[in-house]
Chain A
Amino acid sequence: MGRCPLSLGYQAVGWNPQKKRYDMVVLSGLITYLAVFLGLAFTWFPHITIETAIIRAFGTAALILLHVILSIGPLCRISDRFLPLLYNRRHLGVIMFTVAAVHGTMSLVQFHALGDMGILASLFTSELPYLHQGWVPFQPLGALALLILFAMAATSHDFWLANLTAPMWKTLHSLVYVAYVCLVGHVVFGILQVETHPLWFGSLVLGAVWLTSIHLIAARKEHRLDVIQTHNAWISCGKWSDIPEDRAVLVCGHGERIAVFRYDGKISAVSNVCQHQNGPLGEGKIIDGCITCPWHGYQYLPDSGQSPPPFTEKIPTFRTKLEGDIVFVQAEPLPPGTQVPPTEVPK
């Protein structure tokens, strides 16, 4: 950001004790999983080689972690109890990439390093002779997924978010869905062609059904927020008492979401889009009298949409009014930084 911290009490991104605890829990879970997997593998398949056991342990661990990561976003949309997981998702992503990289590197060494061909040439050509028999090359699929995960892990730091710009960064990170599809292909056309126990195939299908279901449920919920109420000049936001103190409810105005905040006996409405990197202001809270973005802590005065001096960012504001207990917000935005008198409600 290159700016002084705008809020001491709202450190959404960066190391803090909570994040450290989170990482410790993830790493201990991972180590336990690997130990249990290896123990069971050597018990049930005493002739399995250590290399193969490690490749499979790390491969399955990466796949499970990817399912967890892909679950976090929609779960947060369904219930905000999961929000702490969202704020730490990037750490989980980097851990998952590391685990997948161990799987990929060991597979390269085990299956491609000992021949008379270069490792990468062998990786991309060893399955070609079987294509005419209906064989789907699963190893390049895994390599492509790993490449995407690498690009995501390498650009996960805020430095890249700032330099690539938020829309570009988000597009790059949306490729995780492509990586997931590639990984499903990698597993289905690879190991599951020989490991025919229904449990393995069934688990993968179940994972896909779970992810698809929660994405669809979340999309449905989100869709309601995105119904543009162009026919109404004023949009109902529900009872003022239903808006939590120092928090917002979201409604959809002309094209973008509006965050309607209640604070200190007042109601104000601003655009939901943070000027910094398009973070969701309506998911932030009021700290020290300012709307504080949950992503990096940029702050705005609720009644004017302006960052407190000396900062100069401005976001659009909206008129509000109270009819009985119901809060209304005008659908049409005012120019960024326009001062709007807040609507008074009982403290």
Chain B
Amino acid sequence: MIRSARKRHGAFVVLWVCLLPLIFFVGFESRTSFLGTEERVGVPIVPFDFGHIYSNNGRIYLFISHRVPSDPLVYWSPHEPRGHALPQDAIFLCAYVADKAEIPPMEPGFLIVYSLTDSEIIYQSRWEGVP
């Protein structure tokens, strides 16, 4: 291999050596953010079985404090789910992305976190509505 090709190869490796620690650091930081930075979106206002509800500037967010399942989707249902399957009348609210889900104000009922990957309900909780 000629010298210039070796130098170019070296430059790519240097770029890589600089970028990887940065990616790992930012990735790890953003990952841990959903493991407990409560002030991130506001003050918790409703205690929850598997997480908390926050309000921030009039918007309502769900924050899962347990393990976040793969491809999580958030549903609301007027009836309590039985087993792992979604109730027929469950309404899709949003996907749980970037460590939280913004949910619309819903009537009292049940809030459900469903994993698309696992095709089952992972978490559910009675929903009293937002005061």
A residues bordering B, Cβ < 8 Å? 45, 47-49, 52, 127, 130, 133-136, 166-167, 170-171, 174-175, 177-178, 180-181, 184-185, 188-189, 191-196, 201, 204-205, 208, 212, 215-216, 219, 222, 226, 255-257, 273, 278-280
Taking A136-B26, A174-B8 as contacts, is the C-beta distance between A49 and B119 under 8 angstroms? yes
- Chain B residues with CB below 8 A from A134, complex form: 30, 33, 98
CB distance from B25 to the nearest CB of A (A): 10
Taking A181-B19, A212-B20 as contacts, is the C-beta distance between A193 and B117 under 8 angstroms? no
Among B15, B27, B100, contact of A133 (Cβ-Cβ < 8 Å): B100
B residues bordering A, Cβ < 8 Å? 1-6, 8-10, 12-13, 15-17, 19-20, 23-24, 26-28, 30-31, 33, 35, 67-72, 84, 97-100, 115, 117-120
Question: Complex formed: what's the CA distance from A280 to B16 in Å?
Answer: 25
Taking A47-B118, A47-B120, A188-B27 as contacts, is the C-beta distance between A194 and B12 under 8 angstroms? no
- Chain A residues with CB below 8 A from B117, complex form: 48-49, 52
For this complex, 5 residue pairs linking A to B, each with C-beta atoms less than 8 Å apart, are A134-B98, A136-B26, A177-B16, A212-B17, A257-B3
Question: Complex formed: what's the CA distance from A171 to B17 in Å?
Answer: 18
Main secondary structure of the interface of B (DSSP, over half): helix
Main secondary structure of the interface of A (DSSP, over half): helix
Taking A47-B120, A226-B6 as contacts, is the C-beta distance between A201 and B70 under 8 angstroms? no
- Chain A residues with CB below 8 A from B15, complex form: 177-178, 181
Whether the pair A255, B3 counts as a contact (CB closer than 8 A) is yes
Question: Complex formed: what's the CA distance from A321 to B109 in Å?
Answer: 92
- Chain A residues with CB below 8 A from B33, complex form: 134
Taking A48-B117, A219-B13 as contacts, is the C-beta distance between A278 and B2 under 8 angstroms? yes
Whether the pair B6, A181 counts as a contact (CB closer than 8 A) is no
Among A171, A184, A196, A273, contact of B20 (Cβ-Cβ < 8 Å): A184
- Chain A residues with CB below 8 A from B118, complex form: 45, 47-49
Whether the pair A192, B2 counts as a contact (CB closer than 8 A) is no
Among B9, B24, B71, B98, contact of A174 (Cβ-Cβ < 8 Å): B9
